[in-house]
Structure 1
């Protein structure tokens, strides 16, 4: 018997997001508690194929085997996993497939080859195909003839070429398992009815693909809300506002408004901020509040500065705001600068420009300290 790690359940509750990157926790999250209490006695042959040949974790292997008590074709499982590995699937991606549905171990290699060919005909590389399938395993259970191929044809008619279809799928594979006739196409028509050029609609599609998979009613309500804010329908900001509204319920929107009001912003301030930078409002109310407090606590900027430059609270605290604040405090403590830059310059400058203006001139005095802080921020950004 293969024991399940004792800390699996505690990990799930202590860090709800951990199951996204931990195969052991993910497998525990997927399978029911009732089934998890049953003894796990995996087929020795299956266990050998998954663990020893394909480097699966023992806990996942035990759970997968318990879901398939009558499954004994270890040769088929080995053949399939070997084929996928030869086509650029990593161990992590293979485990994701099995976590989603252990029955995939019983699929034939020929069936996968036919699906691969459809994606290869789009010009996708094996690495890209592996990423698309592992990020949306529902593709494996969607009928090619009645679902996947018609969806691809619809996307090609809309986008114009296989290359553009591949480009979109690399950003969001959900288009292959969604009913495009009830989501994508009606939403495109709604935007066209707003006199938005098709070129801009397609740009919006690539930038925010999931917005086009919401129900048309949600898209219509998003359009109405953007119009109420007085945003011109022909502007880029109108499109950006739809991206925010389409993924924000009215209840959550009210929470964000109340949070900003509690922070001292008037409704006029809020409307001004939204019209300037709608994307800032895609963050949670708590995140917005934390960034506002961080900026105001410097004593260098006030609410009117944030209203003038709302994009400042759209940047990461850890990767941009806090490291730069530390550097400016250091320069100020050494009397190397008389005042801080404007909020706009502070937040919007690229790392290189910030370095050239606030680190390079003072390198002899505190260069190493500043470089360390900047390097730390850049390293976190890369990770």
Structure 2
């Protein structure tokens, strides 16, 4: 295993010399719930009751942006401030800063519905009794709040020690192997050993902590884990990215028989073995789709009007289109047809932007109506540039269009509306240079005020 670590380090040092782009993304979407008999049920209640109160509370009490608060409210909801106030007060009494508390709640919002005195306080007291200083306790828990979901005693103690050691190692740029007393061959011992290996390969804290507190079986194995990580490293995946984690999970969980079956399916549909592996490097998750889902998606797209080689090209462009069910694909196409777009044009849009078959009816209609009614762009502009439907209304579409409307009202753009692609498809700096910064200082200030008003960064 140590030779693998050495090989991995050399490989990625070589890659970085060639300007390998490192992108640390959110780790696998691991889920974790309090499972012991002594823990309270923190599961999100069905329905949307209390969402408005929750959003207001998060904004007022934690200073969170409204957009972030709305996102959190979809995971946890409450109708009064009694329990969340108690949780926040507990954290503050242990020296957690407002910034750390915001980070904790953003990462693990279900804590707001925990019983602060029966569930959280005993665990914080336990960690403090082990000799954790106030700063160590607050830093470690704020880095990985899901540690509070672990059972009080040896379990939470071991996870805490491991998290703290990673944090300290990163500060000193050194990492020493753990010397925790764990049962040989136990699930927990395997997980910590395997995560130690990933840490040695250079995986960042955020991804390590996600796996540490998860129930992910693929980091609990031993021999199979070593085989899987060797394959993923040799394929060239970068351990600093979440794509490495996804690839490792797929390689670990899929049997050789299942992989062989999937390869046969893709080959039958017109892809080569090299095609499949290249797509795997681009999007590891696609290899886990069942034969039925793969065939169903291919056949659905063919029935909708694409030729067989066109379906293959669509899939190569974005294999995630397999996530869309048959009904989702048909509904998306009906939505576009209902807007007055011809079937041939819809097929052209899919070939240009495969993920558009997964867009919701509400989103497509809302944005298309805005482009046509508010901005007077022709429908053909949307057909030619379907990517605009995927742009954020709050971050890109509305702010930029408000600037264009202001310039039009002053007669500074002539009599014709600029092309949609000129306004929306360019990056922010090009847009600002093209439509804002070229004017005199007074107008620039006015335009920037319009551009940044209510804009979500």
TM-score of the superposed pair, with normalisation by structure 2: 0.60
Alpha-carbon displacement from aligned partner over 1:17-49 (angstroms, at most 9, x marks no partner): 2349463526859xxxxxx9xx98459864413
Which of 336, 345, 358 does residue 282 from structure 1 map onto?
358
1:4-83 paired onto structure 2 within 5 Å: 13-15=49-51, 17-19=74-76, 21=106, 23-25=108-110, 41=118, 46-50=123-127, 53=132, 54-55=137-138, 64=149, 73=153, 77-83=156-162
Which of 319, 324, 328 does residue 248 from structure 1 map onto?
324
Which of 326, 350, 353 does residue 430 from structure 2 map onto?
353
The reply on whether 1:133 has 2:211 as its aligned counterpart is yes
Is the Cα–Cα contact under 8 Å of residues 240 and 279 in structure 1 kept in the other structure?
Answer: no
Is the Cα–Cα contact under 8 Å of residues 297 and 325 in structure 2 kept in the other structure?
Answer: no
The total of aligned residue pairs comes to 340
Is the Cα–Cα contact under 8 Å of residues 332 and 360 in structure 2 kept in the other structure?
Answer: yes
SS of the counterpart of 2:340? Answer: coil
The reply on whether 1:144 has 2:229 as its aligned counterpart is no
Cα displacement (A) at 1:295: 1.0
Determine which structure has greater relative contact order: mean sequence separation of CA pairs < 8 Å that are 6+ residues apart, divided by chain length: 2
Q: Which residue of 1 aligns with 2:27?
A: none
- What is the CA–CA distance in structure 2 between the aligned matches of 1:281 and 1:206, rounded to whole Å? 23
Is the Cα–Cα contact under 8 Å of residues 194 and 233 in structure 1 kept in the other structure?
Answer: no
SS of the counterpart of 1:137? Answer: coil
Which of 328, 348, 352 does residue 404 from structure 2 map onto?
328
Which of 189, 192, 206 does residue 281 from structure 2 map onto?
206
Q: 1:363 to 1:319 in 2, by over 3 A?
A: farther
Alpha-carbon displacement from aligned partner over 1:308-353 (angstroms, at most 9, x marks no partner): 2222222221221111110000001111112222122222122222
SS of the counterpart of 2:332? Answer: helix
- Larger helix percent: 1
Cα displacement (A) at 1:216: 2.3
Alpha-carbon displacement from aligned partner over 1:127-155 (angstroms, at most 9, x marks no partner): 26515515853147743235x33433554
The reply on whether 1:362 has 2:419 as its aligned counterpart is no
- What is the CA–CA distance in structure 2 between the aligned matches of 1:77 and 1:241, rounded to whole Å? 41
Cα displacement (A) at 1:230: 1.9
The reply on whether 1:292 has 2:368 as its aligned counterpart is yes
Q: Which residue of 1 aligns with 2:295?
A: 220
- What is the CA–CA distance in structure 1 between the aligned matches of 2:318 and 2:365, rounded to whole Å? 20
- What is the CA–CA distance in structure 2 between the aligned matches of 1:223 and 1:333, rounded to whole Å? 48
- What is the CA–CA distance in structure 1 between the aligned matches of 2:199 and 2:217, rounded to whole Å? 15
SS of the counterpart of 1:362? Answer: coil
Q: 1:265 to 1:220 in 2, by over 3 A?
A: same
The reply on whether 1:342 has 2:342 as its aligned counterpart is no
Q: Which residue of 2 aligns with 1:86?
A: 165
Alpha-carbon displacement from aligned partner over 1:139-175 (angstroms, at most 9, x marks no partner): 47743235x334335545xx53575897732456642
- What is the CA–CA distance in structure 2 between the aligned matches of 1:26 and 1:355, rounded to whole Å? 42
Cα displacement (A) at 1:224: 3.0
Q: 1:324 to 1:199 in 2, by over 3 A?
A: farther
Q: Which residue of 2 aligns with 1:119?
A: 198
Cα displacement (A) at 1:212: 1.8
Q: 1:40 to 1:368 in 2, by over 3 A?
A: closer
Alpha-carbon displacement from aligned partner over 1:250-302 (angstroms, at most 9, x marks no partner): 12222222322332223233222212221223322222222111111234212
Question: Which piece of structure 1 moves more, 268-277 or 169-178?
Answer: 169-178
SS of the counterpart of 1:361? Answer: coil
SS of the counterpart of 1:336? Answer: coil
Is the Cα–Cα contact under 8 Å of residues 202 and 239 in structure 2 kept in the other structure?
Answer: no
Gaps in structure 2 of 5+ consecutive residues:
1-37, 52-72, 77-104, 169-185
Q: CA RMSD in A?
A: 4.4
Is the Cα–Cα contact under 8 Å of residues 196 and 233 in structure 1 kept in the other structure?
Answer: no
SS of the counterpart of 1:340? Answer: coil
- What is the CA–CA distance in structure 1 between the aligned matches of 2:312 and 2:187, rounded to whole Å? 51
The reply on whether 1:258 has 2:299 as its aligned counterpart is no
